[in-house]
Structure 1
Amino acid sequence: MARLLAKMWHILGSGAIGSIWASKLNSLNLDITLIFRDEERLGSFATTGNLVSVRSDQGLDQFQCLATTANKLTTPIQNLLVATKAFDAVSAITTLSNWLTAESTIVVMINGYGVQQELQTKFPHLIFTFASTTDGGYKTGEFETVWAGQGKTLVGSIKGTAKTPKEWEALPQIEATEDIDLILWRKLAINCCINPLTVKYNCRNGELLDIPGAMAEMSIIASEFEAISNATQKHLFDTPLLDQAKLVARTTQGNISSMLQDIRAGRRTEIRQITGALCDLAEQSGLAVPHNQSLLKLIIDLETNG
């Protein structure tokens, strides 16, 4: 199949999700350019021969793609996938702002809740599509990823003006939603129930189900989250959050949460954009979420002191 003309996708963020989506877009014969934050990462990528490796149940997908840094760009970006850490998203898009226009397709696929709304406020001239995915993966090398769980991706716009990129429609498990804010809220709920506990118990998602203490804590987390959801009139699921969290832990049983990957690698986590986002909403609502607060403090302490 010939490469599609004028369908270059730039990907900002080369972690597990960014790499998995580079593989997906490459499967559509789209041209891919990774945007690295600095020359050091760009140089490291060059030593691999510009190879990205993604291993899944279907085998090893190894492909070459272009790479650059923000200060090397020379033309406007037509299509951009943002797959950075949530705490990096605003500053990362700021570095690209001179190369983004109202005509740019910008898909933001990040964890957490609140950053999405901040992007809309800070860049009112840009049109953002937000995505929530249940794809799961983890890094085994700087540019090597295991695609541990192939999931569903929902896309939509908070403003209601963005659309699913047309070429993405050829991918399986892609669905447009008219209420992406609800989807992001539900994703936050699941992440609050699972991610901090995988750090506390140093285990994969599915292993939580076999740890009685973890299950007891997950029940408390879910109850606190549901109280905030009710207070803010944000609908969650038709079944209890705890049941949904257990289901996700089971279906992603082999995955190592991004939060645990970060702690093991000595990196900053997204705990402030996940559990911290819930705690902020609780404070605004005048409600207490003590167990979530304790987990927020625990993960921040681990980031600082190891």
Structure 2
Amino acid sequence: MQWHILGAGAIGCLWAHCLIKAKQDVRIILRNEVHLHTYKATSRLHYTDMDARKSHSFPQAELPSDAAPITRLFITTKAFSTQDAIDSIRHRLVDNAHIVLLQNGMGQHEQVCNQLPHCHVWGASSTDGAYLTSPFHVTRAGKGETIIGLLSRYNKLSDFPLLLPEKMDDLTVHLTQNISLYLWRKLAINAAINPLTALLDCRNGALSSVPAYRQKVSIICKEIEAIAESLHQPLFEDSLEKHVFSVAELTANNFSSMHQDVTHKRKTEIDYINGFIQAQSALKGLDTPFNKQLITSIQAKPHS
């Protein structure tokens, strides 16, 4: 079975490697000739597992401008690149193509569904941890699970199991009838951890261990919970704050993706994380001053 993966970051490379191990035909779509040349220098993905064992896989690489049809696609780009990603390969999508959005943030999902009514669009939320040490060198930082659910209005959840191999040793995948719940849960936790760690220049664990940082977590969590409640959107049976601290402790030595983006002066996903929450609060007429402050502070950071 053939899969294309658009977005050769850490999660894209992780999925490419794991799908190949499960004997799938994987093609990674690279942004331009420069990235393609970099990949073709070795034509392999380098994978380091959590026990520091190294292995390789050999997906084929393509450019968006290629003509080969796409029937199954993972989009693992940053959320703000989704529109450009879709535009770059739109001419290659067959009718009834399956597209899985495995990304942080929210807002882009509805956009893709509206623009591609002839495709089956799926949302995915993952707690797997991975990072790149250099292009196409991915290191596994934590094993979690990936929840996949239907976003398109005219498809059935039962359409999906046939798309993935039955046995994937390195990935745990579950299907859900309510992907919105999992997208919101991931969004809420990211909205607390990502901007705070980026602005405080700390690892995730500091949010739980430093009393002054814990207070900031409490403030943003209360604002997020108020917005979710106004939208009648459940989050957790207990408090969001408890789950944020739990994730911070489980990933205590990690730097969040937004911290890494700010450190390397890259564009962040703040508009699709806290920005999405701010847009929802505006629709409901709610005041969320701390969330707004986080957005403004992150947006003021220099980036290329």
Q: Name the TM-score class by shorter chain.
A: over 0.9
Matched, 1:100 2:99: no
Identify the range of structure 1 (122-131 vs 267-276) with the bigger mean alpha-carbon deviation.
122-131
Partner of 1:13: 7
CA contact (8 A) 1:135 1:151 kept: yes
Aligned to 2:79: 86
Alpha-carbon deviation of 1:165?
4.5
Q: Secondary structure at the match of 2:56?
A: strand
Query: SS state of the match for residue 205, structure 2?
Result: helix
> Over residues 222-267 of structure 1, what are the superposed CA-to-partner deviations in whole Å (9 max), with x where a residue is unaligned?
0000000111111110010000111111222233211112112221
Cα distance between partner residues in 2 of 1:21 and 1:234? 30
Within the alignment, does 1:66 sit opposite 2:55 as a pair?
no
Is 1:50 the counterpart of 2:43 in the alignment?
Answer: yes
1:244 counterpart = 2:237: no
Q: Counterpart in 2 of 1:123?
A: 116
Post-superposition CA distance 1:176-217 (Å, at most 9, x none): 000111211111101001111110122222232222222111
Larger mean Cα displacement after TM superposition, 247-256 or 29-38: 247-256
4+ residue runs of structure 1 moved beyond 6 angstroms?
none
Deviates more, 1:205-214 or 1:20-29: 205-214
- Structure 2 distance, partners of 1:260, 1:61, is 28
2:149 paired residue number: 156
Residue 223 of structure 1 corresponds to which residue in structure 2? Answer: 222
Rounded Cα–Cα distance in structure 1 between residues aligned with 2:211 and 2:15: 35
Between the aligned partners of 2:55 and 2:263, the Cα distance in structure 1 is 26
Count of paired positions? 297
Contact 1:77 1:99 in 2 (8 A): yes
1:123-272 matches, within 5 Å, as 123-159=116-152, 161=155, 163-166=159-162, 167-171=164-168, 172-272=171-271
| Counterpart position of 1:76 | 69
1:148–1:254 Cα contact (<8 Å) kept = no
Tell whether the 8 Å contact from 2:50 to 2:139 is kept in structure 1 after alignment. Answer: no
TM-score (norm 2): 0.93
Quick one: percent identity of the two aligned structures? 35
Shift of 1:277: 0.5
CA contact (8 A) 1:53 1:144 kept: yes
Q: Hey, what's the Cα distance between the residues in 1 that align with 2:122 and 2:56?
A: 28
Cα deviations by residue, 1:58-112 (Å, 9 ceiling, x for unpaired):
42232222111111x2221122111000011122112111111233221110111
1:35 aligned residue: 29
User: Are the equivalent residues in 2 in contact too, given 1:12–1:81 (CA < 8 A)?
Assistant: yes
CA distance in 1, matches of 2:20, 2:249: 29
Question: Aligned residue for 1:3?
Answer: none
CA separation in 1, counterparts of 2:166 and 2:251? Answer: 24
Q: Is the contact made by 1:137 and 1:255 (CA closer than 8 Å) also made in structure 2?
A: no
The residue type paired with residue 178 of structure 2 is D
User: Is this contact kept in 1: 2:122–2:152, CA < 8 A?
Assistant: no
Contact 2:96 2:118 in 1 (8 A): no
> Aligned in 2, Cα 1:226/1:176: closer, same or farther, shift over 3 Å?
same
Unpaired runs of at least 5, structure 1: 1-6
From the superposition, tell whether residues 283 and 124 of structure 1 become closer, same or farther in structure 2 (CA, over 3 Å).
Answer: same
Deviations, residues 138-175 of structure 1 (Å, cap 9, x unaligned): 22112212211111110011235254343244234211
Aligned counterpart, 1:303? 302
Deviates more, 1:98-107 or 1:241-250: 98-107
CA contact (8 A) 1:102 1:127 kept: no
Structure 2 unpaired stretches of 5+ = none
Query: TM-score, with normalisation over the residues of structure 1?
Result: 0.92
- Matching residue's letter, 2:123: F
C-alpha contact 1:138 1:258 (8 A) present in aligned 2: no
Cα distance in 1 for residues equivalent to 2:188 and 2:229 = 13
The alignment yields a C-alpha RMSD, in angstroms, of 1.6
Quick check: 162-171 or 91-100, which moved more? Answer: 162-171
